[in-house]
Amino acid sequence: MERRSRNRRRPALGAVFLCSLFFSAVQGYGADAFSTKAPAAVLMDAASGEVLFEANSHARLPPASMVKMMVGLIVMEKLKDGSLHLDEEVAVSAKAAKMGGSQVYLKQGEVFTVEQMMKAIMIHSANDASAAVAEHIAGSTESFVDLMNLRAKELGMQDTEFHSVHGLPPGRGQQMDLTSAHDMALLGRALVEYPKVLEWTSTVEEPFRDGKFLLHNTNRLLTRYKGMDGIKTGYIRQSGFCITATAARDSTRMIAVVMGTPNNATRAAETTRLLTLGFSSYKSVKLAGKGQAAKERLPVKGGKAKDLGLRYAADLSVSVKTGKTSEVVVKEELPASVPAPVYEGDAVGKAVALLGDQVLKSVDLVAAETVEKGSFFDRLFR
């Protein structure tokens, strides 16, 4: 059984001092006063999905190893639906064993569990493990790439086309993976819903192959930035230095994407600046939870019941500039009535979060129960 190591080094006092200075410098300033040296960047509130800052956010660029985030999402979704299990064994093919770049030197015929492979992928960015898992799930890496692109469309990743499961430079006759900072933020937001992913991506070092090999996390900010627990770095010559990073402080989680920087130092600096902007200038506020009852009941025309209850179809969470949270109000927008029949789960209205006249976010209000069409006598006596 593998021993998990999650020891963290305390950040140097100088780093803490510099972060404190920057935190003070951006206090009270929003994204309007912010710029970045990164060729493309996004800052997103994880709870609401609201983009707080963006620069060239839809520019299509190579993601390098950030491709593996989609591998991780598909694995987690299959674990959730029960079609895959963490203790399931994955055999290494000859093709997977030949993957270059970052790897854990898998050999043809070796067998590891899904969890061991996922640690190699999400901690160490192992290309060979990524290929082995893809083949195990879909039969071939090509078929798995099809799954990746289908899932990307479902998430609204309109700038993305995947051609590999690892993000390495394309070989002869192959095409480059392409995505955008915006799409990587969408993917990151989907991934952070899984605590197991964050457990892996926050691990600094981990023994592999019975301790004969040590996995090293490629995200050096884990030990340098408060609250950092993921997600994935990337680098090839064509992409420059990239990262989709996430950090949580109190009840607020931010996602920062930086793409195309010339070196690791710039990537780290711009990521830190983005996250600090988010934590210092914005606060995530949960106004209503998924399934929560709406304040009003909705009249039903011609139904067996005269009205029906409503519930929130999703969480209603927003990011608001610090000091403005008390000014946010929720308005439930409903028709005067709905005709029967109405079925449980039907969208019949919206709940809108407002800051003054600004719409921050809206979610559907759905029927909490079914109201069948009433008989002649039901309608007559009502």
Tell me if 311 sits within 8 A of 368, measured CB to CB: yes
> How many other β-carbons are positioned within 10 Å of the β-carbon of residue 46?
24
List, in sequence order, every beta strand (DSSP E) within the chain: 40-45, 51-55, 89-91, 111-113, 205-208, 213-216, 228-236, 240-249, 252-261, 282-288, 298-301, 307-308, 310-312, 316-321, 328-333, 338-339, 347-355, 358-367
Helices (H), the chain: 13-26, 68-81, 94-97, 114-122, 127-138, 141-154, 181-191, 195-201, 264-281, 376-381
H or E stretch covering 162: none
H runs (alpha helix) in 155-220? 181-191, 195-201
Residue 240 and residue 237: Cα distance in Å, rounded?
6
Q: Is 153 a catalytic residue?
A: no
Name the active-site residue from 48, 68, 164, 239.
68
Cα separation of 192 and 365, whole Å? 25
Active site residue 284: no
Q: How far, in Å, CA of 76 to CA of 85, rounded?
A: 10
Q: Which of 48, 125, 130, 164 is catalytic?
A: 125
Contact, 207 vs 3, CB < 8 A? yes
At 251, the amino acid letter reads S
125 assigned to active site? yes
Q: Of the residues 65, 130, 280, 319, which is catalytic?
A: 65
Residues marked as catalytic: 65, 68, 125
